Amino acid sequence: MDLTKIPERNEIPEEYTWDLRDIFPDDEAWTAEFQALSAKPAEIAAFAGTLGERPGRLLDWLKLSDEVGVRLEKLLGYASCKSDQDIADGVYQDMRSKAVACYVGIAGASAFATPELLAIPDETLDRFYAECPALETYRRSLTRIRRMRDHILSPAEEKLLAGMGEMAEAPDAIASALRNADLRFEDAIDSEGKSHPLSAGTFGPLMESEDRTLRKSAFDNCYARYSEFKNTVAATLDAQFKKLRFFADARRYPSTLAAALDGTEVPESVYLNLIDTVHQNLDAMYRYVALRKKLLGVDELHMYDVYTPVVKDAAVKISYEEAKATVLDALSVLGEDYIELLKTGFSSRWIDVYENRGKRSGAYSSGSARPHPYVLLNQKDTLDSMFTIAHEMGHALHSWYSCQHQPVNTSDYVIFVAEVASTCNEILLMRWLLNRTTDVKERAYLINHFLDQFKGTIYRQTMFAEFELEMGRMAEAGEALTADALCEKYLALNKLYFGPDMVSDEAIALEWARIPHFFYNYYVYQYATGFSAAVALAERILTLGEPAVADYKRFLSGGCSADPISLLKIAGVDMGTPEPVNAALRLFGELVDELASLNLS
């Protein structure tokens, strides 16, 4: 593929696009399913007021809920993937809106269920389990619901909140449309005067360029454009946090953070301890920044110097085919069954590989494994792209294992553990590469890449988490999230996390405007905790071998069959303590010292 230009969708060879026919054979089949699901609210409503009558009735409801949930997942998954191929395509944007509306309608019709499940007396539910053993499949799910007793409202109030679901998506949808469809950037200009297309998808690779003139041009042009729309994006974030505050208040939570974490059974202390632990390890980050400045040989280190490799002439072009082969070799330690699944995903078009005009930026795994996972990439034939393949396929196979080994109601793992499997793959890939090179420059290049993972995943995502916490607190205090207020807070955090040897360019104060994760409801901290857990798990797998792999696969197969802290303990790591984060950052410091000791002259 020629990656020097951004092609139209129809110019991408079919083998590099995902095959969505595994979900629905065509749009007409999707439409038929949409119509069938749109009739489900009437069937659902017939269960209202009956869930506590007898165990068979409760079981029928839970089975119907499973069935409808799986079908909705496919309906929304197909429409979302289609719309992400080209966000400017109104047909698939409309299909996605219809799928969301269908989901909201069914959620509204189902709103009676949670209050009714809470109203069943404990002794009655115990009798139901005894009389109907099939209900045991749902014990974990029912227990999770009933532990939320203090935050569930009356049936009428629950229906009202459910009906607001479509409206609640508006802040993210508006910001996404602006970022991905409407914003156009001036080309970046390199040191020879050559133009380079600048987009959400090309910004990252341009920041990795060895040409400092090109990096600065891309940086300046990107944030100059965001500056023109900063008030619009700030308004969408203000609306997002007003929404979170409303739902937290409605459900009687003391804060938006408490509301977000309670749903995944993660103590608030984990979030707050992460920030505190990273603050205690900022000295290692400052050493890294000082070393980067020295190795780049610059008088001032700017924010557009953060991503370029510090080792010259070591970067190599890695084609998609080469990257897949390397990933398969590196992950072979996880066993034949894991590798065969990877091969199936690569050969059966689970993956949408290359950027095209209008395609959603970044990368993701669909999170669903029915019929199988789907992965979106924007492949650039770089080392980073190879790690992205390993990362997203880690997500995909986590979903696959959970769906294969868990019933529907406990197959969807919570977001706290969502980044563990993906990042464990990255760590294993990095360890594999480091163990196979003796060349000083190549080793330094790989260590720098590893350090950039630490920097980007633990330090950077914790900085994002702290910024998100600040936004939540502002909203809870009744303060408006204005562009000026957000820029001031973001710039202060950037200076704190990067330290005295980094010039925190004024434009970086606008970085919040291009980060989609701030609409994900306290999601980003889990990148940092997940990376820390993944470091521990990868080291355990490489040290202990098969016993650790077996423990790890029990974790992958666990879905949400236990709370996330307990699931990770099964795999061999305790995220209820600061130790995994401290250990990961100790390794970061050791790698900084090793890179500093290498003779790169």
Q: Which residues are catalytic?
A: 392
CB proximity list for 558: less than 8 A, separation 6 or greater: 402, 405, 406, 413, 567, 570
SS3 348: coil
Count of CB atoms situated within 10 Å of the CB of 500: 9
What stretches of 455-524 show up as alpha helix (H) in DSSP?
460-476, 483-498
Coil, strand or helix: which one is 74?
helix
- Sheet containing strand 351-352, edge to edge, reads 351-352, 375-376, 364-365
Q: Distances in Å between the alpha carbon of 158 and those of 63, 276, 350?
A: 21, 37, 37
| Spatial separation of the C-alpha atoms in residues 401 and 520, rounded to whole Å | 25
The token duo for 543 is 């040290």
Q: Put residue 561 in one of left, alpha, beta given phi > 0 → left and psi -120 to 50 → alpha.
A: alpha
**44 CB-contact burial (10 Å; exposed 0-12 / middle 13-18 / buried 19+):** buried
Angle between helix axes 268-280 and 460-476 (nearest 10 degrees) is 130
DSSP character string of 390-431: HHHHHHHHHHHHHHHHS-GGG-S--GGGTTHHHHHHHHHHHH
309 preceded by a cis bond (ω within 30 of 0) = no
Q: Are 318 and 381 in contact (CB under 8 A)?
A: yes
Residue 41 Cα distances to 72, 91, 110, 259, angstroms: 13, 25, 8, 28
